Amino acid sequence: MSKSGQIDMINGGILRKIIIFAIPLIASGVLQQSFNSVDVAVVGRYAGHQALAAVGSNGMVISIMINLFVGISVGANVVIANYIGQKNQAGIRMAIQTVGVVAIVSGIALLFLGTLLAHPILELMSTPDDVIDLATLYLRIYFLGMPFMMIFNFGSAILRSFGDTKSPFYALIVAGVINIGLNLLLVIVFGMTVDGVAISTVVSNAVSSGIILYLLIKKDAPYHIDLKKLGISRSELLKMMQIGIPAGLQGMVFSFANIFIQSTINTFGSDAVAGSAAALNYEYYCYFIINAIGQAAVAFISQNYGAGNMERCRRIYKYCMILSLIGCGIPNILIAWQHHFFLSIFTNSDVVIGYGTIRLEYVLMLQFIASSYEISSAAMRGYGYSMTPTVLTVFGTCVLRLAWIYFALPYDRTLEMLYSVYPISWVITGIMVVYAYFKVLKKVNSKVLRS
């Protein structure tokens, strides 16, 4: 690793570098989720279970609206990393300046969409009457911070493309401390509820995005952003979209299916919603392990594919898959085993804890299975094949889960039956996407041999 934080992904050992790359990303994901988890814990303890349900049940709505742009940031990561592998400095510069414009435009678009559509979406999700007003208030304030969130996400994608995952982590440490302090001040001292925790999150996002922007401005060429030269390169934008839009659509479809599941959970009442919301925090935490290693697969494979080193690409996939299965599986089992302790962090209601325990036992404990399709999808995107994993994931998550809700659930309308669709869909999607990965690998190998 260089003094600038850049990791040499093309030469030397692989496993250690993947771990060095992934650990700050995991920590960053945990810190970002902690913004929401602290919100949930503070309102759950000091503002009641309706406020807990209002904050905790909004994750699906937020995800479906931002995932398209998060996917485009993956496309930016692949394009820049590929240029690094080719040692194409002009391409790196054009791609980075394009990313800057995309970040600003997407943040403003999400600000308006989120504030306008918050209440209608919550109504469509059958959000309980004693929760919907609080949930709408939280969402509308939360989306005011979207420009900051997009600057952070796209800026972090630029840094990840050349191996710097530590800078976003440090930025989130600062923002996380501010978030916790403001939560305690606004909710406990000033008596605010969901509005207080939403304001805290917006301020925290502003701080983290400001730090990332400052670091990118100070970077040496060709990795820095020049605010005076921001502009769209059509060719670079198209490359990012070609990879990023399918990745974003995959995330949106995933969230879309989960919205239907959340809508069904909502019909069980606010206690069930609160229990699910508390348990869901731990699914997010464990997913960040899979996601971080998946991002490592994207960056490492993109650079090595750009350099034409296919043997190294195959080893990267193998290491990432093993790390993801083990890294996610251990906390999955540990949290499900000690479920009462972990859920009691968010609530002191035995009823809510009981509902949360069902989700931990049926969903979280088997979440590591999702590594099969997440890592394989990431590897395919590293090679520039983004549509294939998207189509397969649409079927495996959206179509299958919707079919389960409408055809299987009516025969046994319980939360246990509802949650069973998660591991079933993970297994089916995993088989399809792993098979597709090896088919794509054959194509890529043939292309490299011909060139």
365-388: per-residue pLDDT in tens?
A: 999 999 999 999 999 998 989 889
CA 333 to chain centre: 21
Q: Considering the chain, what is the average pLDDT of its residues? A: 86
Helix axis angle, 234-266 relative to 89-124, nearest 10°? 20
399-439: per-residue pLDDT in tens?
A: 888 899 989 999 999 999 999 999 999 999 999 999 999 99
Q: What's the pLDDT band for 321 if we cut at 50, 70, 90?
A: very high
Mean pLDDT of 196-210: 91
**Of 289, 255, 304, which is closest to residue 375 (Cα–Cα)?**
289
Residue bearing the bigger pLDDT, 281 or 31? 281
How far is the C-alpha of 280 from the C-alpha of 32, rounded, in Å? 14
How far is the C-alpha of 376 from the C-alpha of 378, rounded, in Å? 5
Whole-Å CA distances, 364 to 214, 247, 283: 38, 23, 6
pLDDT at 441: 93
pLDDT at 3: 44
DSSP 191: -
Q: What's the pLDDT band for 145 if we cut at 50, 70, 90?
A: very high
Residues in the chain: 451
358 half-sphere exposure, CB direction, 13 A CA radius: 20
How far is the C-alpha of 300 from the C-alpha of 19, rounded, in Å? 12
> pTM of the entire structure?
0.75
Two structure tokens written together for 230: 């921001």
